[in-house]
Chain A
């Protein structure tokens, strides 16, 4: 047997007319045999009626103020941002954007030409210059000639 708590889960939807027909029929059947749930249903009907009630009376000045603001806004021509963009313009803009995006990843290849891998260039070694250029480097062997950088202990120079 379905407990009352499960039926009560649907009471709100039932009272506000949001429950489907089959569930409403099941709930009604239960309500016939359950006084406690009937009381709860009655309370919710009262609550729904109270919630619908409205004491609101607009002030006359408010209506006048709204009217003035409305006519002011409606007289002004609408800017391009406020207008609805025609469908064909939107489609064209989307296509153009897609084409630009599609073209972007290929741009470096087609626009920027890469130089072919360079052959190693051999520079003639001028005695006495390289050690200054690579000051601080360890012993380096260039083209088989042994060129020594500054050694530890030679910093005093």
Chain B
């Protein structure tokens, strides 16, 4: 039997045995994919998905059915992730930008490698690491998870115009990052 997005809260409220399967199939994997991109830490992403799921279960009676269960789940996940990122940034001794760039350098493709699809994806991942958290969240939700501008605005509690602007800047940043990578690769190959 196929379930819809709004079936999940009903199954959880009724404590139906199928509730977990339904939640896992519809939300756990997209959440994990999104959080991995946002926090860039596999173990932390797993913990955040679990915490998001537990908060959904505990607060399910407070969810008002307005056809936006997925957005509600992503909002909880985003808030948890942003809080954790802020906490980690406060504990860090080196400035976040240089730390992020170090990660990007490590994950960027080697100079001799061919610019095939796999490498382009790695460049996208490395470019994502250089973005502010809010921009990265918007880009991942729109480009990777396919949420609408209005859904993202609801998740991040910002106007749709802000979402569009962040998306635009995120894409520009990725394009410039990719262009910088190809230039440095060409220079390395020439020398």
A interface residue numbers (CB < 8 A to B): 9, 12-13, 16, 18, 43-44, 46-48, 50-56, 58, 62-63, 65-67, 69-71, 73-75, 78, 82-84
Kindly state whether residue B69 has any CB partner on chain A within 8 Å.
no
* Top 9 closest pairs, chain A to chain B, by CB: A51-B143, A84-B61, A73-B57, A70-B20, A12-B171, A83-B61, A12-B168, A84-B62, A50-B120
Give the residues in chain A near B54, CB-CB below 8 Å: 69-70, 73
Task: List the count of A-B residue pairs having beta carbons below 8 Å apart.
Answer: 94
Range for the number of chain B residues in contact with chain A: 35 or more
CA A84 – CA B12 in complex, angstroms? 14
CA A51 – CA B171 in complex, angstroms? 10
CA A71 – CA B171 in complex, angstroms? 40
Tell whether, in the assembled complex, residue B50 and residue A13 are in contact, meaning their CB atoms are under 8 Å apart: no
Closest-CB distance, A56 to chain B (whole angstroms): 5
Kindly state whether residue B72 has any CB partner on chain A within 8 Å.
no
Give the residues in chain A near B32, CB-CB below 8 Å: 56, 58
Closest-CB distance, A87 to chain B (whole angstroms): 11
Give the residues in chain A near B46, CB-CB below 8 Å: 62, 65
Binds A, one of B21-29, B77-85, B92-100, B103-111: B21-29
24 A-B residue contacts at CB 8 Å?
A13-B164, A18-B149, A18-B164, A44-B175, A47-B174, A50-B120, A52-B144, A52-B146, A53-B121, A63-B24, A65-B50, A66-B24, A66-B53, A69-B50, A69-B54, A70-B57, A73-B53, A75-B15, A78-B58, A78-B61, A82-B58, A82-B59, A82-B61, A83-B62
